[in-house]
Amino acid sequence: MTDPGAAAAAVATAHRAHWSTVLAATVALTRDLDLAEDSVQEAYAQALETWERSGVPENPAGWLTTAARRRALDVMRRAQTLQRKLPLLVWDGAGDGVEDEDEDGDEDEHPGHRRIEDESVPVVLDERLRLIFLAAHPALAPTSRIVLTLRLVGGLSTEQIAAAFLVQTSTMAARLTRAKKRIRLSRIPCRVPPAEELDSRLVDVLDVLSVLLATGAGSGGAAPGPAPEGSGSRAAVLDTVVHTLEVLVDLLPGRTEPRGLLAQALLLRARASTRTGARGRPIALAEQDRAQWDRELIDRADRLVVGALAQGGRGPYLLQGAIAACVAVPARHEDIDWREVVELYDALLVHWPTAIVQLARVVAISEADGAAAALADLEPLAEELDAHRPFHVIRGELLSRLGEHDRAVPAFRAALERPGGEGESDLLRELLRTS
């Protein structure tokens, strides 16, 4: 007998750490995403029971893989007798049709597909890359890529994904079904792209993870008060982002971009508890309590960025990671090297010449060269960013710093009229009352 709490904790840990490994190994067998997912889900349910009774196995991933594949095999044998025919997921080296299998389940002799016989055999981890690249395939609609990544790589339930995006569970279920049907009917292959396509496909993956990082950022931290709706699911989203990036960093050591985005995710997490105060009010960077930041995470992020830069990386995600590290690493706010931050933004603008990046650069300029210089750089963005609340907030703050309160007030009022977080709206209303 194991302590029921310990068994449940082990299953939860295994879910976070091994979901995509177990799923990839099961998809390799079924070549049917739905069947594989069902089997993996059942394997986790079975683990909860069995591990409580007979203890947590030495190799949880291996145990779960074996259990999931056995269940899948059972279903496939029955389906075969019913002559069920569905187009199978394209998996390199695999022919069509369900192969005959031995009782012990050692059936896979396809090149590029390693065998996972039982829990004594170490589980091969790199099959996870197939799912990561499948979920972010360029032939899928951007929203499909996002939800499939959460489902296939993160193992989030339909309810969790629906909650993270504040939509009905039935809506999300339909979206997932459509995305998987698209994969099946179009025969989108479940494979790691060949070398000549790897970099562009990696950008697709990172773009998905970057959107998810923004969603996960809404998970807040240890902010007092009741958690906002969907925040638990958004924490699971952030877990998925970090986990997926760790896999990419591990398995594609020659690529520097995943390290940049992982650094961003870790830094976000390190600072999560101080970004907002009571009632979700944003706290300015200079006023955040750095002593509460997670130093261990910050150091890890810093090492990732420094290593990737030393390796010659200069891609946009690495530059963003470097910017985030520049801001987070110094022990005191006054020690931030804003000149360097401005230079990193200049480099980022070469990749992404967008008004949003310009706006972020303006904030760095205000620290490096003062509010007047920043305001001069900000004004040309007025037309493009008129609908964007942060533009007006930053404009109001710069004008306040320059003592131009008559012009700052309309800017804050304009900000309040644009959509944004409730906590920030509170703050803006207070500013308008006191100025």
Nearest approach in angstroms of CB 100 to another protein is: 20
* Cβ-based nearer residue to another protein, 191 or 290: 191
Nearest approach in angstroms of CB 189 to another protein is: 4
Report in angstroms the alpha-carbon separations of 245 from 207, 248, 261, 293, 357: 12, 5, 7, 21, 23
Place of tokens 């008129």: 386
**Nearest to 132, CA basis, from 24, 270, 8:** 24
Long-range CB contacts (within 8 A, 24+) of 411-418 = 415/389, 418/387, 418/388, 418/389, 418/392
* Cβ-based nearer residue to another protein, 79 or 432: 79
**211 is an interface residue for another protein by CB under 8 A:** no
**178 is an interface residue for another protein by CB under 8 A:** no
* Cβ-based nearer residue to another protein, 190 or 267: 190
Nearest approach in angstroms of CB 139 to another protein is: 6
Identify residues 110-139 at the interface with another protein (CB under 8 A).
139
Identify residues 136-155 at the interface with another protein (CB under 8 A).
139
Write out the DSSP string of 150-192. Answer: IIIIT---HHHHHHHTT--HHHHHHHHHHHHHHHHHHT---SP
Q: How far apart are CA 359 and CA 348, in angstroms?
A: 12
Q: Which stretch binds another protein (CB under 8 A): 101-109, 182-190, 255-263, 411-419?
A: 182-190
* Cβ-based nearer residue to another protein, 187 or 405: 187
**Nearest to 304, CA basis, from 261, 271, 243:** 261
**79 is an interface residue for another protein by CB under 8 A:** no
Q: How many residues bind another protein, per CB under 8 A? A: 11
**90 is an interface residue for another protein by CB under 8 A:** yes
Q: Which of 187, 303, 405, 429 touches another protein (CB under 8 A)? A: 187
Tokens of 25: 């190994």
Nearest approach in angstroms of CB 137 to another protein is: 8
Tokens of 391: 């533009």
Kindly tell me the burial class for residue 127, based on how many C-beta atoms sit within 10 Å of its own C-beta (0-12, 13-18, 19 or more). Answer: buried
**97 is an interface residue for another protein by CB under 8 A:** no
**170 is an interface residue for another protein by CB under 8 A:** no
Q: Which stretch binds another protein (CB under 8 A): 17-25, 35-43, 84-92, 366-374?
A: 84-92
Q: Are 202 and 255 in contact (CB under 8 A)?
A: yes
Q: Which stretch binds another protein (CB under 8 A): 67-75, 83-91, 286-294, 346-354?
A: 83-91
**77 is an interface residue for another protein by CB under 8 A:** no
Helix 338-351 vs helix 355-368: angle between axes, to the nearest 10 degrees? 160
DSSP state of 419: -
Nearest approach in angstroms of CB 95 to another protein is: 10
**87 is an interface residue for another protein by CB under 8 A:** yes
Q: How far apart are CA 427 and CA 421, in angstroms?
A: 10
Q: How far apart are CA 305 and CA 261, in angstroms?
A: 9
Q: Which stretch binds another protein (CB under 8 A): 58-66, 186-194, 319-327, 416-424?
A: 186-194
Tokens of 229: 């709706």
**84 is an interface residue for another protein by CB under 8 A:** no
Q: Which stretch binds another protein (CB under 8 A): 117-125, 189-197, 287-295, 418-426?
A: 189-197
**186 is an interface residue for another protein by CB under 8 A:** yes
SS3 331: coil
Q: Which of 125, 167, 173, 188 touches another protein (CB under 8 A)? A: 188
Q: Which stretch binds another protein (CB under 8 A): 184-192, 273-281, 293-301, 358-366?
A: 184-192
Q: Which stretch binds another protein (CB under 8 A): 4-12, 105-113, 183-191, 337-345?
A: 183-191
Nearest approach in angstroms of CB 184 to another protein is: 9
Residue 373 makes CB contacts below 8 A (sequence gap 6+) with: 365, 366
Write out the DSSP string of 223-270. Answer: -SSSPPTTHHHHHHHHHHHHHHHHHHHHH-TT-SHHHHHHHHHHHHHH
* Cβ-based nearer residue to another protein, 190 or 416: 190
Q: Which of 53, 84, 85, 181 touches another protein (CB under 8 A)? A: 85
Nearest approach in angstroms of CB 197 to another protein is: 8
Output the CA torsion 381→384→388→392 (10° steps): 30
SS3 102: coil
In the complex, which residues of this chain contact another protein (CB under 8 A)?
Answer: 85, 87, 90, 139, 185-189, 191, 193
